[in-house]
Structure 1
Amino acid sequence: MLAEQERWARSQGYQQLWVKTRNQFRAMLIMLISHEYQIFTLEKKGEVDEYRLLLKKNL
Structure 2
Amino acid sequence: MKIVTTTTPTESELNDIYQIHQDVFGDIHRFTDKLIQKSHLVFTLSIENEKVVGYKIGYPLDDKRFYSWMGAVAPEARNRGIATKLMSTQHNWAQSQGYQSIDTKTMNRWRQMLLLNIRHGFDVKAVTVDEHGVEKILLRKQLYQ
Computing the radius of gyration from Cα coordinates, the structure with the larger value is 2
Select which of 21, 33, 42 maps to 2:106.
21
Task: Kindly indicate whether residue 9 of structure 2 is the aligned counterpart of residue 9 of structure 1.
Answer: no
Aligned length: 56
Paired residue secondary structure (1:6): helix
Give the AA of the match of 2:142.
N
Residue of structure 1 equivalent to 2:24: none
Give the deviation of 1:25 after TM superposition: 0.5
Cα RMSD over matched residues? 1.0
- Output one character per residue of 1:2-40: Cα deviation in whole Å (capped at 9) or x when no partner: 000000000100000000111111000000000010000
Give the deviation of 1:43 after TM superposition: 0.9
Which has the higher relative contact order, 1 or 2, with Cα contacts under 8 A spaced 6 or more apart? 1
Within 5 A, what are the aligned runs for 1:23-42? 23-42=108-127
Give the deviation of 1:44 after TM superposition: 3.2
TM-score normalized by the length of structure 1 = 0.88
Q: Distance in 1 between matches of 2:121 and 2:97?
A: 20
Question: Which segments of 5 or more consecutive residues in structure 2 lack a partner in the other structure?
Answer: 1-85
Residue of structure 1 equivalent to 2:135: 51
TM-score normalized by the length of structure 2 = 0.37
- % identical equivalent positions: 38
